[in-house]
């Protein structure tokens, strides 16, 4: 989509552009009218100034409405257009214009997409740069959505590693992929245990962008390219969409890519552990004990709690990179959805300053997060009977607080890191939710949050 900043008023727009006009009708009402012979889309914004959240949805609804009416070119003036808002607008125009139609036959009239937006404002000064940056970010989010939306038969651990290489083509990002043998040599027994049930070989991809000489910000993304549950096979309604269980990995790949594209002066390393969780004849079993890279042994109670196993080894691997901070991103638990519903990811960390930082980036970017506790009390949940830790709770209280249990498991490995660490359970944000004006499928969370976090990171 072309977004062009123009000085002046939207009344100056040339013929052929549908004008978008804001009225004080109730928020969200939309209608097409003729005004002085010019087709105009009226959007109600009420009388009170839109909050940041409402502004994000407003930007998307402009594009969504235009698309629904097959309007290709629009002209508008956004209220109070600061640089920050211009960037947010551009991000969300791109996000709202996206649909995953890779496997669909193109209709004769083409896809319903907005081709051009004329954005009128009083001064062009820095707005153009803000729009350009916003578009880049929006496209990065959409690339993450495409990767996540692509079926499990097409995205396997090896094609996910290829996708990481492909994403940063031409950019100063060093990509290294470890194969099964190298991982075995290192001793990544937890990751390799999960991988056993699939004929697809696991991969572990390291993406390094050296925008500064400081200690790196390490981002770890869960890359389960399909989660069948393993021998603890998921039921029909739970297995659907599990090709998106690599959404954390997709977000990390595209956050690192964006950091490089935007030439941020930061040192960022993305880690992408990737496996397929399948119940093949060599699959790991409930009762198996895995030896993780950390040396800790893990008792497998449930083969469907696989994400934490691959992340455990990735978090231990992160230690050798001497990070300044580590964030992991994972579609880790259905319980995070039970706790928070569809509009926020769960944030778990022992570090209050980091929690605050991530939350602020969440609010500002639109990738909202909400914190859950990671108290010592919960550590008893995952004590192992025959190994150091168990991959799920079995004793009293085991039925409750599954998102915390997942976080507490990861903490057993993250506590060895000598830096702040936070876990973001993005299961609630894996797919787009009602009323957020995004097309069906992957939501692309939390690419925008991660990018902001990297951009604003200081020790
Ligand atoms: N990938 C799933 C979690 C998930 C569920 C993500 C729904 C997105 C939507 C994860 O690997 C899983 O299976 N978790 C189990 C944990 C349980 C076995 C302790 C779950 O949530 O049921
Ligand atoms: Mn699972
Ligand atoms: Zn999973």
- For ligand 1, is residue 333 a contact (CB within 6 Å)? yes
Report which of residues 269 and 41 the model is more confident about.
269
Q: How confident is the model at residue 167 (pLDDT cuts 50, 70, 90)?
A: very high
How much distance in Å is there from the Cα of 332 to the middle of ligand 1? 6
Please state, in angstroms and rounded to a whole number, the distance separating the CA atoms of residues 438 and 92.
9
- For ligand 1, is residue 223 a contact (CB within 6 Å)? no
Q: What local confidence, expressed as pLDDT, does residue 396 receive? A: 72
Please state, in angstroms and rounded to a whole number, the distance separating the CA atoms of residues 129 and 320.
38
What's CA 63's distance to the chain center, in Å? 22
Please provide the average confidence, as pLDDT, over all residues in the chain: 96
pLDDT over 90 (residue 395): no
Question: CA nearest 247: which of 332, 362, 367, 346?
Answer: 332
Report which of residues 405 and 29 the model is more confident about.
405
Q: Would you say the C-alpha torsion 137, 139, 140, 141 has a positive or negative sign?
A: positive
pLDDT tens figures, 75-134: 999 866 899 999 999 999 999 999 999 999 999 999 999 999 999 998 888 999 999 999
What is the CB neighbour count within 10 angstroms for residue 230?
27
Residue whose structure tokens are 């706790």? 339
Residue whose structure tokens are 């936070």? 422
Q: How confident is the model at residue 34 (pLDDT cuts 50, 70, 90)?
A: confident
Residue 308 catalytic? yes
- For ligand 1, is residue 307 a contact (CB within 6 Å)? yes
Mean pLDDT, rounded, for 445-458: 98
pLDDT tens figures, 195-205: 999 999 999 99
Q: What local confidence, expressed as pLDDT, does residue 79 receive? A: 64
The single residue of 25, 162, 234, 383 carrying the catalytic annotation is: 234
pLDDT tens figures, 120-146: 998 888 999 999 999 999 999 999 999
- % pLDDT > 90, the chain: 89
pLDDT tens figures, 402-429: 999 999 999 999 999 999 999 999 999 9
């Amino acid at each position: 989509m072309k977004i062009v900043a123009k000085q002046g008023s939207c009344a100056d727009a040339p013929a052929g552009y549908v004008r978008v006009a804001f009225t004080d009708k109730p928020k969200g009402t939309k209608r097409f009218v003729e005004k002085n012979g010019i087709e105009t889309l009226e959007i109600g914004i009420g009388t009170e100034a839109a909050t940041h959240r409402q502004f994000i949805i407003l930007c998307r609804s402009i594009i969504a409405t235009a698309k629904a009416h097959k309007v290709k070119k629009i002209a508008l003036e956004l209220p109070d257009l600061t640089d920050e808002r211009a960037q947010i607008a551009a991000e969300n125009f791109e996000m709202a214009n996206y649909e995953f139609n890779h496997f669909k036959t193109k209709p004769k009239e083409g896809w319903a997409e907005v081709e051009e937006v004329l954005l009128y404002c009083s001064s062009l000064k820095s707005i153009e740069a803000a729009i350009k940056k916003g578009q880049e970010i929006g496209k990065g989010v959409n690339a993450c959505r495409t990767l996540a939306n692509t079926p499990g038969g097409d995205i396997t651990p090896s094609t996910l590693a290829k996708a990481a290489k492909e994403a940063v083509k031409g950019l100063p990002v060093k990509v290294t992929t470890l194969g099964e043998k190298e991982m075995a040599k290192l001793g990544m027994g937890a990751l390799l245990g999960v991988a056993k049930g699939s004929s697809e070989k696991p991969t572990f991809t390291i993406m390094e962008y050296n925008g500064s000489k400081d200690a790196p910000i390490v981002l770890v993304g869960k890359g389960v390219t399909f989660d069948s549950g393993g021998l603890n096979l998921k039921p029909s309604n739970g297995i659907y969409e599990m090709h998106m269980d690599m959404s954390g990995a997709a977000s990390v790949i595209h956050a690192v890519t964006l950091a490089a594209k935007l030439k941020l002066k930061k040192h960022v390393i993305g880690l992408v552990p990737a496996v397929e969780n399948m119940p093949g004849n060599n699959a790991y079993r409930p009762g198996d004990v895995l030896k993780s890279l950390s040396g800790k042994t893990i008792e497998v109670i449930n083969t469907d709690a696989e994400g934490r196993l691959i992340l455990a080894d990735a978090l231990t691997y992160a230690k050798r990179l001497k990070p300044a901070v580590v964030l992991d991103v994972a579609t880790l638990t259905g319980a995070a959805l039970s706790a928070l519903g569809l509009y926020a990811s769960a944030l778990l960390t022992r570090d209050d300053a980091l929690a605050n930082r991530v939350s602020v980036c969440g609010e500002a970017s639109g990738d909202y997060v909400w914190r859950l506790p990671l108290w010592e009390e919960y550590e008893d949940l995952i004590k192992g009977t025959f190994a150091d830790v168990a991959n799920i709770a079995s004793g009293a209280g085991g039925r409750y607080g599954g998102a915390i249990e997942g976080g507490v498991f990861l903490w057993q490995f993250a506590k060895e890191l000598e830096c702040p660490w936070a876990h973001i359970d993005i299961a609630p944000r894996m797919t787009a939710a009602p009323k957020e004006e995004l097309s069906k499928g992957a939501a692309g969370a939390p690419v925008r949050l991660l990018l902001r976090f990297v951009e604003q990171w200081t020790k």
